[in-house]
Structure 1
């Protein structure tokens, strides 16, 4: 696009020397720019054809994935994944050996489903898709890049979507959160994604006694409270305080053991409270 801009300026100024130096712009790019190229559904299918071609060079497949993801940032194009029958080839990319391709596929799932109820509905039609993403997020042998993108995809799939969230719960998706946020050596971005997943789960759940029992059973409550008493990271602590604030605002009653853990954590972060969200900090502190 930058080359096209320079060529356009040189052309309008009649600068032959600059035009020769820049060279002719890509005819396909010109066609797309002036509405003469393929429409976006066609571009989506063409990109997926390259992505799914095992004979294509990895670099070309990754470029095609970038193009595909840019297209599905548009809500209509995201919903067209279903209409164009592209979900199956996209989900098949979660099983390929190339880390970069698996990561790109997960990123596309997350981008397509972000704040998009129709795409979230469509995704649920494909058996095994949610289970596979949960397994990728849980697998400590997977590269951090893949696990991070898997958590991103899961968060967007279940946020504000009761059916996806319920299916996630049935597949024991909550079990993947504690090991990540309790791991002192875990990548900070990975830990933040795990906490974002928990926050997304709460958006689609009724916070009642039944839910709290589930969070306790899956060790989510305990591990979340322990995050406050681990190595201080302002972003992690802020996210934990926000989650606890949601629970406390919903009138959740902590057990004495949970209260003790919370008290220890709040004492540890007290000196850093000026760096944290004041409302969440005060809400959480109010139960001590």
Structure 2
């Protein structure tokens, strides 16, 4: 296969560019990412549909990846509980090398084909779940091995890759291929490829959570009230839904602990 993410940059002599030239050229490359994601929408739809179906029936969503890809999966998973009020183990991000690798690269962790399945077994993974492998190149052994073994255990598999026709996509039942092309800094897939993966992860988890009823209208009615900003936001949401003045809305929110519960309590009194 041709690994476009490893191709030479369309730019050269980067060290001779002014700061403005660097920023303009990076921005020009970044502008292409959303269009690449758009081409993959039919694939993203299929993956989001199977994830929603499995989670409605008690399943969970697992992300596996290495390096930047693994970190992006961990970030998306960690943001689901505060944003949508779901249990912390509904969406799980696993990175090659363990949590240490979130901050500091673990040498050769991505080259172990058996370790992803061992990492998944810690969570008692089963046929209700979905495993999504994230790999910019689409060649990461850790991800390939994890998806292959998940398939052997009748677990639904997907992937998010940034090259066409990759080994990772070949193992995934529901592949998402966003072809982003050469990076501004050759091979630095934390740039366009990472941006594309982040966009797809946003779309996947958000669309799934909406389908699972975790958004009402356009509001995060189940968000965790973990800081003053979110408490104020929640209070405004209760005010909008009930017509209550701010002090009463704030008290109702404090009493029930979530926008949804506060509004339901008001409407059912």
Say whether the fold is shared (TM-score over 0.5): no
Larger Rg: 1
Larger relative helix fraction: 1
Report the TM-score when normalising by structure 1. 0.23
Which structure's relative contact order is higher, taking Cα pairs within 8 Å and 6+ residues apart?
A: 2
Report the TM-score when normalising by structure 2. 0.24
Larger relative strand fraction: 2
